[in-house]
Structures are given as structure tokens and as C-alpha cells.
Amino acid sequence: MKFSEAGLAIRNARIVTEDAVFKGSMAVSAGLISDVGGSGLQGDDWQGDFLLPGLVEVHTDNLEKHLMPRPKVAWPVMPAILAHDAQIAAAGITTVLDAISVGDIDPDSIRMQSLLPCVEGLRVAADGGFLRAEHLLHMRLELAEPNLLSMFTPFIQDERLKLVSLMDHTPGQRQWTDLSHYRVYVTGKRGWSDQKVDQMLGLLRERQERHVAENRQQVVQLCRQQTHPIPLASHDDTTAEHVHEGVAEGISISEFPTSLLAAQTARQQGLAIVMGAPNRVRGGSHSGNVSASELAQHGLLDILSSDYVPASLLQAAFMLQQDGYSLPRAVATISRAPAQALDLHDRGAIAPGLRADFIRVRMLQDIPVVMGVWRAGQQIA
């Protein structure tokens, strides 16, 4: 998108800053927030609607749903990217880390075929001004992938790469400790028969034994030796040992811990804790793991991620008020906290000098509804 230098002003909005909620006005100039305060400014009357910072999404695989709208149905990459972007913007997300998988537990999956086309397609669409949100990269590395290093290394210098997560989805541990939940997932999403599940279990455990430890060591070294080290996330930690392993490697983010113990250990070690917004909206994990609500009630939730439902991000944040979070603290889990964790210090809050990424929100009963979205002062939805 091309952004204008023109200013704008908003009045009579319910503004949510990092530490307060108040009725007031905001001014934007040259793509930045220039003033936030009382009712002195004149401008567009928001009639008491909420004014929140643009949402920052650290992990969404929503693009994959557009690439494969039904099992075994492949969709063209560029139309999928554009549809994904439109859905992201409509959800109030102004900065999104598209979670691109590098490797997969299923060698025939669409993830194995779409890595290069997706990364290049996102670049082409952004350079051409066709994307509403700002799209950055989150590389999800499946550590049991035999060719992981050769697949990942070409992207290590990509300026869009802002996060790398270390994943091991081998059934029987971490996310899939309960194999009954795993069977439900892969038979539904991947269309596997029970016979194929049985065949794959042995293969996947063999791949884990052969490749995970070596791949993990090399990836960590590669990310840490960059001029600007790439932030690392540990995915689906279940035990205290999982967390301590990540801390020793320099990991700063605990992404979707599956147990209360893992989250407590992550907090003790100073890691930022990410949980899924769909988990909070649904009231529990689809994998049978710890709920986002429980972690929030223990003060163990720093960042929400929409994961596979973009619209869940805003709704889940408002629901955190039921878990004891103030509205400013809840909003920070989808704006300032993820921005800070990714070293994106120019956004994520309503404050003078920051980039004018913001959204207008109106309540429909207890559901927050996005009524407008602005990125760098330009309306995109």
C-alpha cells in the first residue's frame, strides 16, 4: 500500500493506552501519532468507540487454509496470499508474522510444496503495494525434517525474518502427548486413515531419533551468529527440562507451553509466554493441553496469537478481563507485548511518536467488532 503524508484527527474515542482507558482525542501526522489527550482536538467523531493500537500477530498459519481450502485441494498461491491478507486486515491486524513451515511430519503435505512460492509471493505482493497489513516472516522449523538446513539456510538473511521457532511435532510428546487427540487431528485435517496413522507413527519416531538433536544444534548456532541475532521461540514445551534446554540455547519466547509446569518454568526464566487466542475463545486446547485461561489466571500469559483464526485475537484479548486482566493489560497482549518481543519498538501502543497503526472497535453485546483499521495513518480496512 502507498501511504499518504496527510494528517488526521479523531475525537470522542475511548482510547486504550498502555496504562489507562479514557475518553479523548488523537492526532496523526506523517504516519505517526502526534498527539494523544483530552477533548481539545477537532476531528472525526468516533462516538465513544474504542481506539486501540493495531494488532501484532506473531504466529498465524491462516495462509495455509487459503492454500488448501479443502483436504487435497491446492489453491493458487497469489490469490491465497491476497485473500489471507484481506482477512488479516479485517481482523484488525496491522503487523503479521506469517508462520511459514520449513519441513513437515508429512512429506506429501502442502507445506513441503509451498515454502518457496509463499515466501516469494509475499515479497512480490508487498513490493507491488497490494498488501494491506505489513507481512513479516516467522519460520517454523520442523526439527525432524531430514533436509531442514538446506531448506532453511536460503532465508537466514531475509530482512523480513523476525522469528524462528523450534518445533518437534513427533506424536507421543509435547503437543501430541495424548495420541488419541493426534489421531482425531490428522484423520480430520489431513484425511489420514487409521492405517496410515499407524504406519506413520514408527516413521516419525525414527526421524526424530535421527535428526532432531543435530538439526536443533545447527539451527540455534546459525540464528545466534547473525549480525542481528534472530529471536528464537521454543514450541510446545511440556516439561521443565524442555524450557531449560531452550534457555541454554538463548531462546526468548515460550510458544504455546502445553502444561502449567512449563509455563511456570518459563516465567521463572524470564521468557515471554505466548498462548493461542482460539484456546481462550473456545475455553480450552483442541489438543487436550493446558488452557490459556488457566495460565492467564496465574499471570502466565504475555502474548496472544490468533494461530488458525485471525478474528480470535481481538475477542480473546477482551475475554482476558474475565481472567483478571485490566483492559490495557489485555490489549497489550495483542499489541505492545508482541511488538517488544520482536524488537519492533516503533508500534504496538497509542502514544506520541509511534507509528499510527490503530483500529476502531465497537461492542456488539460482549463481542468486540472491528469497524476500521489504519496502518501508518492510512485506512486499510
- Provide the pLDDT for residue 370: 98
What CA–CA distances, in Å, run from 278 to 24, 50, 143? Answer: 32, 22, 25
pLDDT of residue 178: 60
Partners of 24 in the β-ladder: 13
In this predicted structure, what is the pLDDT of residue 374?
98
| pLDDT computed for residue 228 by the predictor | 85
Looking at the chain, how many residues does it have?
381
Note the pTM of the prediction, 2 decimals: 0.90
Distance between CA atoms of residues 204 and 173, nearest Å: 12
Which residue ranges form the domains of the chain, and what is each CATH number? 1-53+349-381 (2.30.40.10), 55-346 (3.20.20.140)
List 274's β-bridge partners, or say none: 255, 303
Cβ burial 280-318 (10 Å sphere, 16+ → b, else e): bbbebbebebbbbbbbbeeebbbbbbbbbbbbbbbbbbb
pLDDT, residue 71, reads: 76
Q: How far is CA 372 from CA 253, 257, 346, 362, in A?
A: 31, 33, 21, 10
Which of left, alpha, beta for 285 (phi over 0: left; psi -120 to 50: alpha)? beta
Mean pLDDT split into 10-residue runs, the chain, 381 residues: 69 96 95 87 90 98 91 90 98 97 72 85 98 97 90 94 89 60 61 66 72 90 89 92 94 95 97 97 85 97 97 98 98 98 97 98 97 97 97
263: nearest Cα among 307, 293, 219, 287: 293
